[in-house]
Amino acid sequence: MSKMISHSWGNNKRVFAEHRTHSQIANVVETVVNSEPSSVIPRGAGRSYGDQALVTDGLMISLTQQDHLENLEMPISGLINVKGGMSIGQLLDATIPLGWILPVIPGSQHITIGGALAADAHGKNHWHQSSIASCCEELNVMISDGSIIRCSRETENQLFWATIGGLGLTGLITSATLRLQRIAGTSVKVQTKCYENLSTLLKGFDDATASEEYAVAWLDLLTSSQLGRGIVKSASVYQHGQDWEKSKRFNQIHLPKPRNVNVVTPRICRTHNNLKYLFSSKAKDISVASIRNYLFPLDRIRNWNSLYGKSGLIQWQFILPDKETSLLEEIIMGFNKTSALPSLAVLKRCGEASESYLSFCSPGWTLAIDLPANQDSYRYISKYNPLIANATGRIYLAKDSCVDSGLLGKMYPRLAHWKAIQKEFDPKGIWQSDLSRRLKLCS
């Protein structure tokens, strides 16, 4: 197969590489074993914002989900084995009508199970459910010599915890056994509250997490009069007279694709933010929505990433412990003094970290900010990444595009141990990505 141009979901990273997709494990094994000395990286749905699943002059390999689960019968245990190429949406299609749901669900239903595990993804309920590692019982991982290793907390546990959060650099997740939880309905009761500044919003968020199952906040980082204002949307399963939903997809909005034009401008973003805050402040405090509409708001707009034009976007996501809320406030307020454009900002609460060596989440606040991929954005991020590291915070590598490799030791104290395990299972350095090269993860 000839090489082609592939890009990240943020469209800010592009590579010239080969991309192969297989539905049979045997074909994947053959491709990887015969790839030497080429570099190989697993690629799921292509939803990584940066260069995590791209490898210049190498091979990107995908495992598609071919099995159909319409006739699935859930065991009483709630354990289900799925292929790594299955998407979150496909899993929910099969399990929600039976009264089961994945306890931890990332922000897009298009992400594959393998990709979510490789990122140790989290959702809008991390403070009490932790990351997706908490509901993963077992993995089958194809390492660089083509063998498939079954691993769990008890068996080959070092590979298990190096693969979860390992960004595809220990091998390809061929399948996973996940633990689901019972769900009493298919809708959620959503509570919406607006706050005029950051301090009251943080207090309101903590109040929501005391009683609700999910919570997320949208922040306006562009207003000059009410810095840090925002909206907290919390939700719990609505249990009154629910009919189980049938398997269905979103009715997606298709935006006209601009021809290499960035339509995310300061004026448009400020107008959007003002209208969003105004409408939310006047809307009903309580509403009922489908679980998917609440969990996947951006999935309703099919090609929203194209709005940033040819240069694309960066998603900068960091976490800070509770004692560092002053730094969180400084970062938020600082956008009022720079030309960097925070077009979207989402705040979540995090609880205990998983045992993954590269686990991102830990107790504190995580803020994800979408910015146009330009020098203003890079300068602002570069200014604060060292301060985040010094404050025992960290950058989410699964979304990163520009962190300095010299900061990783502070951010991820178990990085050296992860590198040793990665080297043990990939001594020839077959698994590589542009991110691993940039950050010297597999050296």
Please give the helix or strand (H or E) that residue 95 lies within, else none.
helix 88-95
Q: What averages of pLDDT result for each successive group of 10 residues across the chain (443 residues)?
A: 84 92 87 81 94 95 72 82 93 91 96 97 97 98 96 98 98 96 91 96 96 97 88 89 46 63 89 95 89 92 89 97 97 94 97 96 98 97 98 98 96 97 95 97 84
DSSP for residue 308: G
Classify residue 348: in a domain, yes or no: yes
How far is residue 411's CA from residue 422's CA, in Å, rounded to a whole number? 19
- For residue 45, being part of any structural domain is answered with no
- In order, the DSSP letters of 386-431 are HHHHHTT-EE-TTT-SS--GGGHHHH-TTHHHHHHHHHHH-TT--B
The answer to whether 85 and 62 have CB atoms below 8 angstroms apart is yes
The CA-based angle 100-102-104, given to 5 degrees, is 150
For residue 415, give Cα distances in angstroms to 48, 193, 320, 419.
21, 39, 18, 6
Query: CB neighbours of 326 closer than 8 A, spacing ≥ 6?
Result: none
We report the CATH number of the domain holding residue 168 as: 3.30.465.10
Select from 183, 208, 240 the last residue of a domain.
183
pLDDT at 33: 85
Report the alpha-carbon distance of residue 165 to residue 358 in Å, rounded.
Answer: 5
Distance CA 152, CA 322 (A): 32
Residue 64: what pLDDT?
81
Residue 11 lies in a domain: no
343 shares a domain with 215? yes
Based on the fold, state whether residues 174 and 218 are members of the same structural domain: no
pLDDT for the residue numbered 249 = 45
Which one of 183, 218, 248 terminates a domain? 183
Residues 154 and 195 in one domain: no
CA-CA-CA-CA dihedral for 408, 414, 419, 425, to nearest 10: -150
Rounded to 5 degrees, what are φ and ψ at 5?
A: -80, 125
Q: What is the pLDDT of residue 12?
A: 94
CB neighbour list of residue 40: distance below 8 Å, 6 or more residues apart:
32, 55, 58, 59, 60, 61, 144, 430, 431, 432
Q: Are residues 224 and 368 in the same domain?
A: yes
Out of 183, 207, 240, a domain closes at 183
User: Do 294 and 325 belong together in one domain?
Assistant: yes
Q: Are residues 169 and 285 in the same domain?
A: no
What 3-state class would DSSP assign to 372?
A: strand
What is the per-residue pLDDT for 339? 95
Residue 358 sits in a domain whose CATH number is 3.40.462
Q: Is 172 left (phi over 0), alpha (psi -120 to 50) or beta?
A: beta
Amino acid at 27: N
Closest-CA residue to 234 (of 251, 214, 250): 214
pLDDT of residue 302: 81
Cis bond before residue 37 (omega within 30° of 0): yes
Same domain, 135 and 194: no
Are residues 231 and 106 located together in one domain of the fold?
no
**Distance (Å, whole) CA 328 – CA 325:** 5
> What angle is formed at CA 337 by the lines to CA 332 and CA 343, rounded to 5 degrees?
55
* 269 within some domain: yes
CA dihedral over 49, 51, 52, 54, signed as positive or negative = positive
Contact between 275 and 323 under an 8 Å Cβ cutoff? The reply is no
Q: How far is the C-alpha of 328 from the C-alpha of 108, rounded, in Å?
A: 25
Residue 154: CB atoms within 10 Å = 9
Q: What is the pLDDT of residue 49?
A: 96
| Domain limits for position 155 | 79-183
CB distance 113 to 353 below 8 Å: no
pLDDT at 212: 95
In a domain, 430, yes or no: no
pTM exceeding the 0.85 threshold for the entire prediction: yes
Quick check: is 70 in a domain? Answer: no
Strand order in the sheet with 148-152: 79-83, 172-179, 136-142, 148-152
Q: What was the pLDDT predicted at 252?
A: 64
Are 359 and 259 contained in the same domain? yes
* 310, part of any domain: yes
Q: What is the pLDDT of residue 66?
A: 59
User: Which three-class secondary structure state does DSSP give residue 27?
Assistant: helix
Whole-number pLDDT of residue 388: 98
Distance CA 143, CA 430 (A): 9
Residue-wise DSSP of 322-370: GGGHHHHHHHHHHGGGSS----EEEEEEE----S-TT----SEEEEEEE
Domain count, the chain: 2
pLDDT computed for residue 35 by the predictor: 76
236 shares its domain with 374: yes
Do 321 and 339 sit in the same domain of this protein?
yes
Q: What distance in Å separates the CA atoms of residue 200 and residue 314, rounded to the nearest whole number?
A: 28
- Whether 164 and 123 map to the same domain: the answer is yes
Q: What is the structure's pLDDT at 149?
A: 98
Q: How far apart, in whole angstroms, are the C-alpha atoms of residue 408 and residue 397? A: 10
Cβ contacts of 43 within 8 Å, gap of 6 or more: 19, 53, 54, 60, 61, 62, 168
> Does a structural domain hold residue 3?
no
